[in-house]
Amino acid sequence: MLETLGLTATAGAVYQALLDHPGHGVDELAATSGLASSQVHDCLDELARLMLVRASSEHPGQLRAIAPELGLAAMLDRQEADLAARQAELAASRAAVTRMVADRADSRATHSERLLGMDAIQARLELLGHSATSEVLGVHPGARQRPEDLAAGRDGNADTIARGVTIKSLYQDATRNDPHTTAYAQWLLSLGSEVRTAPVIPQRLVLVDRARALVPIDPRDTRKGALYVTEPGLVGALCELFDQAWATAVPLGAVRSEDPATGLSNTERELLRLLGAGLTDDTAGQRLGISSRTVNRQMASIMERLGASSRFEAGIKAAQQGWL
């Protein structure tokens, strides 16, 4: 038990031997304590530093032990004084942290804040996950998610879910073909989260407790930065946008059945709608998270089913048959 006061076990044994045999020298103490003479010398040096021994007046060149009620009590007093000083330092540090958090909260009192760069975005996502109390809603467009981005959010999401917070993640149908994103989504599902996909989804978005939102400054390059928003009207509109997209999405793992009347998948129907609205193959593919080659392949399949020799004719026939 004396180790907690800074006294090693071997020095404690020598101290006890001195108390029991006040006149013993180094060799006798070594024999009594079962230590080598060199070890006893080291222990006596340690006891001297701790002020548990003093020079003997009766036996010149030897040391005598200070009574425990004096020596050990003094050590306890020093330990308590050190502890009190440490507690005072911790209290001062806590006060400084509280002031810093309050200052940062004041600086974010406005309803929006620009976060520039991925480090700033990731830091804010970590804070949002830590402070979430009910749910975190996320929209993740694109045919695939960067493995490093998925890995960066893994621990935070696990902690958030462990606290009973619901996580709902919305991906594009195209991610069902990406092994990294699919594996991550399956991991989320295994922890009790909800994951759905849809052919077209809104831009990248994170909503926390339906009170705070994170949206990209530039949807074309989401790594540039994000806008942190707490304006109730804007956050409410973003929540409605998410709810509408979520309601029409399909849970991951569910089979996406074709429309029995048309034989079209949701992606094919959405592709017809986008091309009919005048979007190019590249733009339509970007919206759907698929390549231009996939756009061409799907359109060729649709034209064959419609018996159309051109996309223009396919558009007319699709409208006539109620496919659009």
Q: What is the pLDDT of residues 81-90, one digit of tens each?
A: 777 888 878 7
Judge whether residue 312 has pLDDT over 90: no
- The pTM for the full model equals 0.52
For residue 259, the model assigns a pLDDT of 54
Strand partners, 112: 229
CA distances from 36 to 14, 65, 236 (A): 11, 19, 78
In DSSP notation, 214-252 reads: EEESSTT-TTSEEEEE--HHHHHHHHHHHHHHHHHSEET
Question: What class has domain 112-251?
Answer: alpha beta
- Asked whether the CA dihedral 258, 260, 266, 269 is positive or negative, the reply is positive
Judge whether residue 308 has pLDDT over 80: no
Neighbours of 211 (CB within 10 A): 15
Token pair listed for 137: 């809603």
Per the prediction, the chain carries an average pLDDT of 80
Judge whether residue 319 has pLDDT over 90: no
Q: What percent of the chain has pLDDT over 70?
A: 88
Q: Which residue has the tokens 């309601």?
A: 247
Q: What is the pLDDT of residues 98-141, one digit of tens each?
A: 777 666 655 555 567 888 888 888 888 888 888 899 999 999 88
For residue 145, the model assigns a pLDDT of 80
- Asked whether the CA dihedral 273, 278, 284, 287 is positive or negative, the reply is negative
Q: What is the pLDDT of residues 146-164, one digit of tens each?
A: 888 888 778 888 888 888 9
Band of pLDDT at residue 168, cut at 50, 70 and 90: very high
Question: Which amino acid, 114?
Answer: R
Task: Answer with the residue of higher pLDDT: 70 or 239.
Answer: 239
Token pair listed for 183: 């594996």
In sequence order, the 6+-apart residues with CB closer than 8 A to the CB of 94 are none
For residue 137, the model assigns a pLDDT of 94
| Cα distance from N-terminal residue to C-terminal residue, the chain | 82
Q: What is the pLDDT of residues 49-82, one digit of tens each?
A: 888 887 777 777 777 778 877 777 777 777 777 7
Element housing 163 (H / E): none
Please give the Cα distance from 139 to 216 (Å, whole number).
Answer: 11
Q: What is the pLDDT of residues 174-184, one digit of tens each?
A: 888 788 888 88
Q: Where are the domains of the chain?
A: 1-107, 112-251, 266-320
CATH fold match for the domains 112-251 and 266-320: no
- What is the CA angle 316-317-321, rounded to 5? 120
CATH 1.10.10.10 is held by the domain 266-320: yes
Neighbours of 88 (CB within 10 A): 10
Element housing 118 (H / E): helix 118-131
CATH code of the region 1-107: 1.10.10.10
Please give the Cα distance from 322 to 276 (Å, whole number).
Answer: 13
Given a contact cutoff of 8 angstroms between Cβ atoms, the answer to whether 228 and 162 are in contact is no
Using DSSP, state whether 170 is helix, strand or coil: strand
Give the torsion through C-alpha atoms of 131, 137, 140, 146, to 10 deg: 30
Judge whether residue 284 has pLDDT over 80: no
Please give the Cα distance from 65 to 107 (Å, whole number).
Answer: 61
Mean of the pLDDT values across residues 11-15?
83
